[in-house]
Amino acid sequence: MKLFKTHLYAILVVLLLILLIIFKPDVGMKALDLSASNFMDMFSVLPPIMLLIGLLDVWIPKEVMIKYLGEKSGLKGIGIVFLLGALAAGPLYAAFPVAAILLKKNARIANVLFFLGVWSTAKLPLVMFEYTSFGGKFTVIHIVSNLTVFLIGAYALEKSLSPAKKEEIYRISSSMVN
Amino acid sequence: MSTVFLYGLVALLFIISWFKDPQKSKKALKIGWKSFSKLIPTLIPVMVGIGIILSLLNPEAVSVILGEKSGVLGMLLGIFIGSVAFMPGFVAFPLGATLLSHGAGYPQIAGFVSSLMAVGIVSLSAEIKYFGKKSAILRNLTALVAVFIFVLIVWGVGL
C-alpha cells in the first residue's frame, strides 16, 4: 500500500501514456519517445551529482561550509554560490539535492536560494548557447535582470521565514540527503 | 560534452577519496545512493508527464500562439507554457530560435525561454520535498517575477 502511495502519480501518468498509445497512437508514441529521452537526460546527470553529494557530505566539515557559505559569509558567500551555480551542469531538479547538501551543512538559506537561481539561469555552457541562439542583447538582458531579481528575492524570501520555519527547512532538506 | 566532463570529474574525485579513506568513500557512495533513491519516485511522473505535454505541443502550434502579433496574451501564454513545460536548454534554445524564424515575437520567446529555465511547476512536488511548501512556492514566484521583468524589458527595448 505504501509502495502504491509513493508511486501514485507515476502510476497515473503511465496509465495516461498507455491510454494515449492505444487511442491516439501518433501522439502516444511521440510522448513515449520524449519520456524516454527525458529519462536518458536524467540518468546522464543524476548519478555523478549524487556521488558528488556523498563525497561533499563525508569530506566537507560543517565548520568549513559555515565559514564560506554560512550566516556571516556575506559577499564571499554570494560569490561562491554564483560560481557553483554558473559551473553547474544539468536541469534544475538536479540542483535540489545539491542545495540540500549545502543546507545540511548549515549554508545560509539566502545563499542556497540564490544558488538555485544561478543554476537555473546562468549555467555557463548554456549561456554561450543562448548567445548563439538569440544574440548578445537578449542574453545580457536575460541574465542581468533575472539574477538581480534572484539575489534580492533570495534575501527577501529568507527574511520572510520565521526561525521555526528556517529550522524546518534545514531539517527536511537534511533528511533528503542522508 | 558536459556530461563526460561531469562523470570524469566525479570519478577522479572518488578515486582520490578512495586512496585517502576507503571507509569514508564507501559511506559517500551509500549517501549518494540513498539520496538518489529518495529523488527518483518524484521524478518519474515528471519525466513521463512532460513527455505527454510536449507531444501535444508542436513547434507550428507554439509559433502561432507566440506570434509577433500575439501581443500581451502571447507573452502570458509563453510564460505559462514555459512554466509548465520542461526541457533541457540545448533543446529549448534551438526551438526558440526556430519559433522566432517561424514568426514568434521576441518578448513572447523571452517569456517562454526564461520561465522554462527558472519556473518549474511540474518539478514543484520534488522541490517541496526538499525545501518545504512555503519556500518552494515562494522561490517559484520570485522566478516568475524575474521572468515578467525580463519580458517587459525585452518588450520595452523593442528587440
Q: Are residues B137 and B64 in the same domain?
A: yes
3-state helix, strand, coil in chain A (%, to 5): 85, 0, 15
Closest CA to B128 of A49, A158, A172: A172
Contacts of A54 in chain B (CB under 8 A): 27-33, 35
User: Lowest mean pLDDT: which of B13-22, B32-41, B95-104?
Assistant: B95-104
Phi and psi at B104, nearest 5°, equal: -75, 155
Q: How far apart are the first and last CA of chain A?
A: 24
pLDDT tens sequence for chain A (178 residues): 566 767 788 888 899 999 999 999 988 999 999 889 888 888 888 899 899 999 999 999 988 889 999 999 999 999 999 999 998 878 889 999 999 999 999 999 999 999 999 999 998 888 988 998 899 999 999 999 999 999 999 999 999 999 999 999 999 999 998 8
Q: Are residues B70 and B132 in the same domain?
A: yes
Amino acid at A157: L
Q: CA neighbours within 13 Å on the CB side: how many for A21? A: 15
Cα–Cα distance measured from residue A104 to residue A101, given in angstroms and rounded to the nearest whole number: 5
Test A178 with B24 for CB contact under 8 angstroms: no
The per-residue pLDDT for range B147-157, each reduced to its tens digit, is: 999 999 999 99
In the block, residue with C-alpha cell 508514441: A29
Q: Are residues B5 and B43 in the same domain?
A: yes
Report the residue from B2, B32, B129 with minimal CB separation from A54: B32
Give me the residue spans of the domains in chain A.
1-45, 60-177
The pLDDT value given to residue A2: 64
> What nine digits make up the cell of B144?
516568475
> What nine digits make up the cell of B78?
509563453
- Is the pLDDT score of B62 beyond 80? no
Q: Are residues B17 and B88 in the same domain?
A: no
Q: Are residues B51 and B82 in the same domain?
A: no
Residue ranges of alpha helices (H) inside chain A are 2-6, 8-23, 25-59, 62-69, 74-86, 92-104, 109-121, 124-134, 136-160, 163-176
Q: Are residues B81 and B103 in the same domain?
A: yes
Q: Are residues B108 and B79 in the same domain?
A: yes
Contacts of A169 in chain B (CB under 8 A): 131-132, 135
Residues 20-49, chain B, touching A (beta carbon < 8 A): 24-25, 27-36, 38-39, 41, 43-49
* Predicted ipTM > 0.90: no
CA-nearest residue to A171 within chain B is B131
Cα–Cα distance measured from residue B54 to residue B82, given in angstroms and rounded to the nearest whole number: 11
Closest CA to A126 of A70, A79, A85, A178: A85
Closest CA to A53 of A102, A116, A86: A102
Note whether A146 and B114 are within 8 A (CB).
Answer: yes
Sign for the pseudo-dihedral over CA of B56, B61, B63, B69? negative
The whole domain housing B104 covers 59-159
| A53 secondary structure, DSSP code | H
Q: Are residues B68 and B101 in the same domain?
A: yes
Q: Are residues B16 and B72 in the same domain?
A: no
The pLDDT value given to residue B54: 80
Q: Is A144 on the interface with B (CB under 8 A)?
A: no
- Is the pLDDT score of B77 beyond 80? yes
Mutation for testing the A interface, residue in B9, B10, B12, B140 having most A CBs under 10 Å: B10
Q: Are residues B114 and B146 in the same domain?
A: yes
Number of domains composing chain B? 2
Cα distance from B71 to chain A (closest Cα, Å)?
18
Note whether A129 and B90 are within 8 A (CB).
Answer: yes
Mutation for testing the B interface, residue in A92, A157, A170 having most B CBs under 10 Å: A92
Test B55 with A31 for CB contact under 8 angstroms: yes
Q: Are residues B50 and B70 in the same domain?
A: no
Say whether A32 sits in a helix, a strand or coil.
helix
Q: Are residues B21 and B3 in the same domain?
A: yes
The pLDDT value given to residue B1: 61
